Structure 1
Amino acid sequence: MHSIPLASALALALLLPALPSARAQGTPPTAAQATEGLRVFNRTGQEARALHAVRAGRPDWASNLLPRPLANGDSYRLRTNPQAGCRFDIRLVLADGREAVARNQEICTQHEVSLDAGAIVAAGGAARPPSPETPPSPQAIPRPGARASTGTGFLVAGERVLTNRHVVDACDRVLVRGPDGRNHAAVPPARTDANLDLALLAVPGLTGPVLSFRQDPPLRRGEGVVAFGYPLTGLLSSDAKLTRGEVNSLAGLRDNPNQIQISAPVQPGNSGGPLLDMQGNVVGVIVSKLNAQAVAGRTGDIAQNINFAVKGERAAAFVQAAGVSPAGARSNGPDRSAADIGEIAERATVLIRCEK
């Protein structure tokens, strides 16, 4: 394990040696409007000229719903017919003629859909995976015998992965294993923030669903949370692990205002993984656990299950400052099961291998 100098020797980084808010179009929705209809966010990097939303599986896209072009970063709210069901296919037609497509979206409980660069396909094309004419990029191969450590990260945009700075610090090479099991090489340099202990990686060829950051309501003590990631890789099974817990404090070690304290158990390898609320929105980035041995040496007592995460709003602001518009969502609907949250997280969470 490596300690985090910024947090003091009482906290241990969870690195495992290898065994912004989008702008709403028009006025912001009222509380009543927020529970009504569907808000579609354009985060593709360019203007959208048309928006289509039809019941999932319908063979045609029907008519354009936009009264005017939708700028990148803006959103448009649709009023949906309750008789139309809960599953919809969404399409944005972009200024360059390509399309951004999100299929089979569940809109009865999730009232926001974000289409980013990872959802873009050729005009008239289908959503990913790529066609046989456009083969996926070749896999990056781990170097045999390399000194390596592992951590976790998650997609915040197409080809962009958020993790901890200490996960990728001083690496000669960083490999990212996507949810499909393929390895991709990150392209240096990473955008980092030493104070927050965050890093944003550029990973060409890595696309897929992204996780949304919680915008409101404010996080409260006692809320249930789920930690998701790849702890103890090489010792435990190779698949991702889910643990449940609660928000214990809205500040971190020594009143660190950038962090929250949680009871969800985390282990080496969880560093950089998402912490999600019970609607599947990111409220933190796992960063460290209390060094129980150091605490016992000072107090004579063994502290149990005290862990920390970078606050979700600080992480979203870091991503925004790095030039990437993070997806955002409100957590004002009914809670989901931990199994549902795990399925949401699994599609966007990655294993990171740091070779030195």
Structure 2
Amino acid sequence: MRNHPRPALFLAALLAGLTPALGPLPASAPALAQEAGQLRPPEGAVRIVNRTGQPATALHAVRSGRTDWGSNLLNRGPLPNNAGFTLRPNAEAGCRFDIRLVLEDGRESLARDQDICANRQLELHTASAAAPPTPSVAQARPNPQARNVSTGTGFVVAPDRVLTNQHVVAGCDRILARAPDGRWLAAVPPAQVDAALDLSILRIPGNPGPALSFRAGPAVRRGEGVVAYGFPLTGLLSADPKLTRGEINALGGIRNDQNNFQISAEVQPGNSGGPLLDMQGHVVGVVVAKLDSRRVQNVDNVNFAVKGEAAQAFLRRAGLSFQTAESRGPERSAADVGDIANRSTVLLRCER
């Protein structure tokens, strides 16, 4: 193997699970094969094509679930419009990657959770509007003198928006969120609420984390594996989030409530409001309750989650845009799903 001209960049790309080419390749590069009018990358490589209409000053490609974008792979200057950049994936890096182009005007073009084993050429077309500079948000501090404190879980569904259960935040004088990076951020009232679904949207400035994607299809089936993620029994158990794996037991809840799933992933007080994810890391529900075995004899481990479709309908009624993704292809490990959930799940503290 010949030496790479930028050893530090090469090492960073290897850590991201990619081996970069030596520079951008024009869309008409003769080294690329052509089949049925479509350009193909060389065997075993992945090609990222800029179709945004302007040059890109940065390209990032990292394994899905990472909390950072790693190094800029454009070590030899901008990637022109209609030009491609070829990567050779590390065989041990898996198939799912997040791709990001940063354009000259500050806009971004994102392609998340891409299966690069099935699709060896990825074209990035649209770009989001350039985000205004985010003002610094001062950290909040828990009030040790609060008379009554309870905790729950929430997860990011849009910029500075966190979804949780309504019962987690009902009657709170003050709501704080502990972000995955350890910061305490204060929710800004009022919350948006759907009492019938037991859901609430909190506005929490300060970027508590990236938004999770809701499952767009196929329809959830009984027996599918799921992961519940959250903060049960805070103060008794460790302060870090907990992962519980289980299955979809039934497509209805208590008294045949069609807004809920019954799940075998065991939940405890504090899990309420946390994400229920499928085995590709997409949200299929919001953990809401468990059947109290002290009140219902001879019943154990019966748990419920608000269906993802019901939660999406609530977000639409609230005027929020959110991300969706198809759940197709090979499943991830529970550990990988937990990594995806971790960067977007927050501990909620209700002070009264």
Provide TM-score, normalisation by structure 2. Answer: 0.71
Q: In structure 2, do the counterparts of structure 1 residues 150 and 117 end up closer, same or farther at CA, with 3 Å as the change threshold?
A: farther
| Match runs of 1:279-318 below 5 Å | 279-296=280-297, 302-318=298-314
Displacement of 1:84: 7.2
Code of the residue aligned with 2:116 in structure 1: it is: C
Q: What corresponds to 2:34 in structure 1?
A: none
Correspondence for 1:90 among 92, 100, 108: 100
Q: Any gaps of 5 or more consecutive residues in structure 1?
A: 1-36, 41-47, 67-78, 123-129, 297-301
**Please, which of 94, 108, 114 is the counterpart of residue 116 of structure 2?**
108
* Residue 62 of structure 1 pairs with residue 72 of structure 2: no
Displacement of 1:209: 1.7
The amino acid of 1:333's aligned partner reads G
Equivalent positions of 1:178-327 (< 5 A) are: 178-296=179-297, 302-327=298-323
Mapped partners of 1:331, 1:158: distance in 2 = 23
Q: CA deviation at 1:190?
A: 0.5
- 1:336 has 2:352 as partner: no
Change (3 A) 1:90 1:224: same
Structure 1 pair 138–257 and aligned structure 2 pair: CA distance change class (3 A): same
Q: Look up the SS of the partner of 2:168 in the other structure.
A: helix
Say which SS state the counterpart of residue 339 (structure 2) adopts. helix
Question: Structure 1 residues 334, 198: closer, same or farther in 2, change over 3 A?
Answer: same
State the distance in 2 between where 1:180 and 1:158 align: 16
Counterpart CA distance in 2 for 1:229 and 1:243 is: 9
Q: Does 1:346 align with 2:346?
A: no
Residues 234-258 of structure 1: CA distance to partner in whole angstroms, max 9, x if unpaired?
A: 0000000000000000000000010
Residue 43 of structure 2 corresponds to which residue in structure 1? Answer: none
Contact 2:180/2:343 (8 A) holds in 1: yes
Q: 320-329 or 258-267: which moved more? A: 320-329
Letter in 1 for 2:100: I
Structure-1 separation of matches of 2:157 and 2:54:
24
Give the C-alpha shift of residue 210 in structure 1: 1.3
Give CA deviations for 1:284-342 in whole Å, capped at 9, x if unaligned: 0000000111111xxxxx21110000000111121122111110000011000000000
Alpha carbons of 1:49 and 1:259: their partners in 2 closer, same or farther (altered >3 Å)?
farther
Cα distance in 2 for partners of 1:312, 1:139 equals 31
Q: How many residues align?
A: 283
Equivalence for 1:142:
142
Deviations 1:67-98 (CA, angstroms, capped at 9, x unpaired): xxxxxxxxxxxx9978677656412659xx43
Report the CA distance between 1:265 and its aligned residue: 0.7
Q: Distance in 2 between matches of 1:116 and 1:177?
A: 30
After superposition, the CA RMSD in angstroms is 3.5
Shift of 1:64: 3.0
Tell me if structure 1 keeps the 8 A contact 2:231–2:347: yes
Q: Percent identity?
A: 51
The residue number in structure 2 matching 1:99 is: 107
The answer for unaligned runs of 5 or more in structure 2 is: 1-45, 62-72
Q: Work out the CA distance in 2 between the residues paired with 1:347 and 1:322.
A: 24
How many Å separate the matches in 2 of 1:184 and 1:191?
18
User: How many Å separate the matches in 2 of 1:257 and 1:155?
Assistant: 24
Alpha-carbon distance in 1 for matches of 2:181, 2:214: 23
Which residue identity lines up with residue 316 of structure 1 in the other structure?
Q
Question: Could you say what secondary structure the match of 2:177 adopts?
Answer: strand
Larger radius of gyration: 2
**Structure with more contact order per residue of length (Cα contacts < 8 Å, sep ≥ 6):** 1
Give the 3-state SS of the residue equivalent to 1:63 in structure 2.
coil
Distance change in 2, residues 1:148/1:55 (3 Å): closer
Residue 270 of structure 1 aligns to a residue whose secondary structure is coil
Cα distance in 1 for residues equivalent to 2:118 and 2:153: 26
Separation of aligned partners in 2, 1:258 and 1:307? 14
Distance 2:276 2:127 in 1: 21
